[in-house]
Amino acid sequence: MNRKEFVIKCASCLGLGGLALLAPGCAGTRYFSALIEGADLIIPKSEFSSLSDDGKVTQRKYVIAHNDKLEYPIYVYDVGNDSYTALWMQCTHQGTELQAFGDRLQCPAHGSEFTNYGLVQNGPADKNLRSFPVKVDGGNLRISLS
Ligand code: FES
Protein backbone atom coordinates (compact mmCIF):
# COMPACT_ATOMS: atom_id res chain seq x y z
CA MET A 1 0.00 0.00 0.00
CA ASN A 2 1.46 3.38 -0.92
CA ARG A 3 1.00 6.64 0.99
CA LYS A 4 -2.04 7.70 -1.07
CA GLU A 5 -3.82 4.38 -0.52
CA PHE A 6 -3.02 4.58 3.20
CA VAL A 7 -4.53 8.07 3.49
CA ILE A 8 -7.63 6.93 1.61
CA LYS A 9 -7.93 3.90 3.90
CA CYS A 10 -7.70 6.08 7.00
CA ALA A 11 -10.19 8.59 5.57
CA SER A 12 -12.64 5.77 4.96
CA CYS A 13 -12.09 4.55 8.53
CA LEU A 14 -12.96 8.01 9.83
CA GLY A 15 -16.09 7.97 7.70
CA LEU A 16 -17.21 4.82 9.46
CA GLY A 17 -17.18 6.50 12.87
CA GLY A 18 -16.92 3.96 15.66
CA LEU A 19 -15.60 1.28 13.36
CA ALA A 20 -12.34 3.25 13.16
CA LEU A 21 -11.64 2.06 16.67
CA LEU A 22 -11.54 -1.47 15.32
CA ALA A 23 -8.79 -0.59 12.84
CA PRO A 24 -5.60 -0.14 14.83
CA GLY A 25 -3.73 1.28 11.84
CA CYS A 26 -6.17 4.18 11.58
CA ALA A 27 -7.34 5.18 15.02
CA GLY A 28 -5.30 8.05 16.38
CA THR A 29 -2.62 8.09 13.71
CA ARG A 30 -1.27 11.59 13.14
CA TYR A 31 0.12 12.01 9.62
CA PHE A 32 1.43 15.49 8.89
CA SER A 33 3.83 17.59 6.81
CA ALA A 34 7.01 18.52 8.71
CA LEU A 35 9.50 21.29 7.94
CA ILE A 36 13.11 20.68 7.03
CA GLU A 37 15.68 23.11 8.49
CA GLY A 38 19.18 22.50 7.19
CA ALA A 39 19.70 18.76 7.58
CA ASP A 40 17.01 18.33 10.24
CA LEU A 41 13.36 17.39 10.03
CA ILE A 42 11.49 19.42 12.65
CA ILE A 43 8.73 17.73 14.62
CA PRO A 44 6.78 19.95 17.04
CA LYS A 45 6.15 17.96 20.21
CA SER A 46 2.60 19.30 20.06
CA GLU A 47 1.98 16.86 17.19
CA PHE A 48 1.89 14.11 19.82
CA SER A 49 -1.06 15.76 21.58
CA SER A 50 -4.61 15.00 20.62
CA LEU A 51 -7.83 16.65 21.74
CA SER A 52 -10.56 14.10 22.36
CA ASP A 53 -14.28 14.70 21.83
CA ASP A 54 -14.75 15.36 25.55
CA GLY A 55 -12.09 18.09 25.54
CA LYS A 56 -9.32 16.06 27.17
CA VAL A 57 -5.78 16.18 25.83
CA THR A 58 -4.25 12.77 25.30
CA GLN A 59 -0.76 11.85 24.16
CA ARG A 60 -0.10 9.84 21.03
CA LYS A 61 2.71 7.30 21.14
CA TYR A 62 3.72 7.98 17.55
CA VAL A 63 3.30 10.31 14.62
CA ILE A 64 4.16 9.96 10.94
CA ALA A 65 5.93 12.90 9.33
CA HIS A 66 6.42 13.52 5.64
CA ASN A 67 7.95 16.21 3.47
CA ASP A 68 7.89 16.53 -0.32
CA LYS A 69 11.69 16.30 -0.33
CA LEU A 70 11.56 12.86 1.28
CA GLU A 71 10.79 9.74 -0.72
CA TYR A 72 9.30 7.99 2.33
CA PRO A 73 7.69 9.24 5.52
CA ILE A 74 9.35 8.97 8.92
CA TYR A 75 7.70 7.22 11.87
CA VAL A 76 8.49 8.93 15.17
CA TYR A 77 7.79 6.97 18.34
CA ASP A 78 7.75 8.31 21.90
CA VAL A 79 9.54 5.68 24.00
CA GLY A 80 9.20 7.75 27.20
CA ASN A 81 11.48 9.94 29.31
CA ASP A 82 11.75 12.46 26.46
CA SER A 83 13.29 9.84 24.17
CA TYR A 84 12.13 9.09 20.66
CA THR A 85 12.92 6.78 17.78
CA ALA A 86 12.70 7.94 14.17
CA LEU A 87 12.46 5.33 11.42
CA TRP A 88 12.48 5.47 7.63
CA MET A 89 9.24 3.81 6.51
CA GLN A 90 10.82 1.87 3.65
CA CYS A 91 10.82 -1.90 3.94
CA THR A 92 14.34 -3.33 3.79
CA HIS A 93 13.15 -6.31 1.77
CA GLN A 94 12.06 -4.73 -1.54
CA GLY A 95 11.34 -1.13 -0.62
CA THR A 96 7.58 -1.01 -0.11
CA GLU A 97 6.28 1.77 2.13
CA LEU A 98 5.47 0.43 5.58
CA GLN A 99 2.28 0.85 7.58
CA ALA A 100 2.27 1.75 11.27
CA PHE A 101 0.17 -0.21 13.75
CA GLY A 102 0.92 1.23 17.16
CA ASP A 103 4.36 0.08 18.24
CA ARG A 104 5.10 -1.95 15.14
CA LEU A 105 5.53 -1.38 11.43
CA GLN A 106 4.25 -3.85 8.89
CA CYS A 107 4.94 -4.28 5.20
CA PRO A 108 1.83 -4.78 3.05
CA ALA A 109 3.85 -6.47 0.26
CA HIS A 110 5.13 -9.66 1.90
CA GLY A 111 4.38 -9.25 5.59
CA SER A 112 7.67 -8.24 7.19
CA GLU A 113 7.31 -6.65 10.61
CA PHE A 114 9.56 -4.28 12.53
CA THR A 115 9.54 -3.00 16.09
CA ASN A 116 9.29 0.67 17.09
CA TYR A 117 13.10 0.58 17.31
CA GLY A 118 13.33 -0.59 13.70
CA LEU A 119 14.36 -4.16 14.49
CA VAL A 120 13.18 -6.95 12.19
CA GLN A 121 10.61 -9.06 14.00
CA ASN A 122 9.36 -11.15 11.07
CA GLY A 123 10.82 -11.66 7.59
CA PRO A 124 11.33 -11.98 4.75
CA ALA A 125 13.19 -8.71 5.46
CA ASP A 126 16.52 -9.49 7.13
CA LYS A 127 17.83 -5.97 7.77
CA ASN A 128 16.67 -3.49 10.37
CA LEU A 129 15.08 -0.21 9.31
CA ARG A 130 17.14 2.90 8.74
CA SER A 131 16.93 5.04 11.86
CA PHE A 132 17.80 8.67 12.55
CA PRO A 133 19.19 10.42 15.61
CA VAL A 134 16.58 12.51 17.45
CA LYS A 135 17.45 15.55 19.59
CA VAL A 136 14.96 17.28 21.84
CA ASP A 137 15.22 21.04 21.29
CA GLY A 138 12.72 22.84 23.53
CA GLY A 139 9.29 22.20 22.08
CA ASN A 140 10.62 20.48 18.98
CA LEU A 141 12.29 17.26 17.97
CA ARG A 142 15.14 17.59 15.50
CA ILE A 143 15.61 14.50 13.40
CA SER A 144 19.00 14.48 11.74
CA LEU A 145 18.59 13.37 8.12
CA SER A 146 22.31 13.44 7.31
S1 FES B 1 8.85 -5.52 0.33
FE2 FES B 1 8.41 -5.60 2.44
S3 FES B 1 8.33 -7.71 2.92
FE4 FES B 1 8.76 -7.64 0.81
Q: What residue owns the CA closest to ligand 1's atom 3?
A: 110
- What string of pLDDT tens digits covers the 146 residues of the chain? 444 444 434 433 333 333 333 333 344 789 899 999 999 999 999 999 988 888 888 889 999 999 999 999 999 999 999 999 999 999 999 999 999 999 999 999 999 999 999 999 999 999 999 999 999 999 999 999 98
Q: Tell how far the Cα of 88 is from the centroid of ligand 1, in angstroms.
A: 14
Q: What is the pLDDT of residue 70?
A: 96
- For residue 124, whether the previous peptide bond is cis, meaning omega lies within 30 degrees of 0, is yes
What pLDDT is recorded for position 51? 84
Please name the residue whose Cα sits nearest to atom 1 of ligand 1: 94
Contact 91 CB / ligand 1 (< 6 Å): yes
Closest CA to 75 of 99, 91, 93, 96: 99
